[in-house]
Amino acid sequence: MIRRIQSWSDWQIALGITVALRLFYSALAATLSFHLHLDPARIHPNAYTDNLTSPGTWNYALMGVWERFDALWYMHISQHGYDVPMGVIFYPLYPIVIRPVIFFLPPIVAAMLVSTIATFFIFLGLMRLAGPDISTQGKLRILLLVCAWPTSFILFGGYSDALTLVLIVWAVLFAREKRWWMAAVFGAMAGAARPSGVLVAIPLFLLAWKSRRIRSAVVLLSPAGWFGYWLWLRWTGHPSVVDAYRLYQGMTLVTPWKGLWETLLLIQHTGDLLLAFKLTCVLGFALLSLRREVRLEDRLFALAILAQMLMYTGRPLLGGMRYLLLVYPVFLVAGKLAGRFNWKIYALCLSFLFVMNLEFMWDFLNWWLVL
């Protein structure tokens, strides 16, 4: 089977993995939906939990089981706009993209369809970023690491992570191919998808500087999506994203080193093992991004994402495991390094990560874990 897959083209591999995971996660969620331990006291992360699909039905098993946390906000914003102050935390591109699809499909199905299509292009883009000198087997190792990563199931849910990552990956790809206008457009859209999306401007700026071409200066427009959203919030009288995090999430913007210090203190005082695991992963990603084989623009992007993750206190590293999915350079280098190890060790590592992924999914579906 592996040899047969290795004979496929990149798009066939990406499509095959995407379809397989889409079917797997949908079937798994549907099966688990009849065995969840839903506590009404936990189901109150926002204002949109009163009209959820009733559990115990096939409609819930196929769709309602994915109506969780951020997905509820994105679906609401796509239909009603920013009518609740806290909603400004959720950047506008994902609701804009799913809005026309909602005319044909239920909101959660529309959101998952967009995420699934984006995930296909993530896989395809990562294989192209890996470079022509890497074998198909090496590309598969990279994709399998992404698929097994804890919380990677969210790439198929109603979250903006898949859309953000695909825009980041392809913005960098277009810049390396010297297709500067496409790089600028994708970079601008990434900044309108998530706060971390604007950081793709770092590799775009560096690649443009290296090219020494006047036309590459168009990538200076890549932060336009992020700036445009912030200017729109100010112009319309909405609270800023920073203020919304502080007022409604209890999270305050600080320097990365202060955030790191407070995270360490919190781990010491509370013994929070999950937080300790998140911080260990962040530090591990930082070390991998410093390896010599990582391109300079990729290294700077990875470190910027990791630093941004440490810039909020109050609820440190909230969603940290899924935010690490955006650090594509680490998955590229880790996939290449995996080829140096015995396949049994690699398979064991993948199994460990995937079991954790399923555990996170179980907690997510039960409303126990805010991703």
pLDDT in tens, the chain (371 residues): 566 766 788 999 999 999 999 999 999 999 999 999 888 777 765 567 767 777 888 899 999 999 999 999 999 999 999 999 999 999 999 999 999 999 999 999 999 999 999 999 999 999 999 987 788 888 999 999 999 999 999 999 999 999 999 999 999 999 999 999 999 999 999 999 999 999 999 999 999 999 989 999 999 999 999 999 999 999 999 999 999 999 999 999 999 999 999 999 999 999 999 999 999 999 999 999 999 999 999 999 999 999 999 999 999 999 999 999 999 999 999 998 887 877 888 889 999 999 999 999 999 999 998 88
What is the pLDDT at residue 44?
A: 64
Length of the chain: 371
Helix axes 273-289, 328-338, angle to 10 degrees: 80
Distance CA 26, CA 319 (A): 22
pLDDT of residue 3: 65
Please name the residues in contact with 12: beta carbons below 8 A apart, sequence gap of 6 or more. none
Q: How far is CA 199 from CA 43, 58, 154, 313, in A?
A: 33, 41, 21, 20
Cβ burial, residue 194 (10 Å; 0-12/13-18/19+): buried
CA distances from 12 to 112, 129, 140, 167, 215 (A): 21, 16, 12, 20, 34
Q: Which amino acid is at 24?
A: F
- What would the two tokens of residue 210 be? 């290296």
C-alpha distances (whole Å) from 26 to each of 66, 140, 247, 310, 361 are: 9, 23, 35, 33, 12
SS3 57: coil
pTM over 0.85: yes
Question: Using CA atoms, how far apart are residues 177 and 370, in angstroms rounded to an integer?
Answer: 38
Residue recorded with tokens 């260990």: 280
| The pLDDT value given to residue 278 | 96
> Cβ contacts of residue 47 below 8 Å, gap of 6+?
84
Q: Where do the DSSP E strands lie in the chain?
A: 252-253, 312-313
Contacts of 185 (CB under 8 A, 6+ apart): none
The Cα 127–Cα 119 span in angstroms is 13
Identify whether the C-beta of residue 152 lies closer than 8 Å to the C-beta of residue 357.
yes
Q: How far apart are CA 355 and CA 278, in angstroms?
A: 16
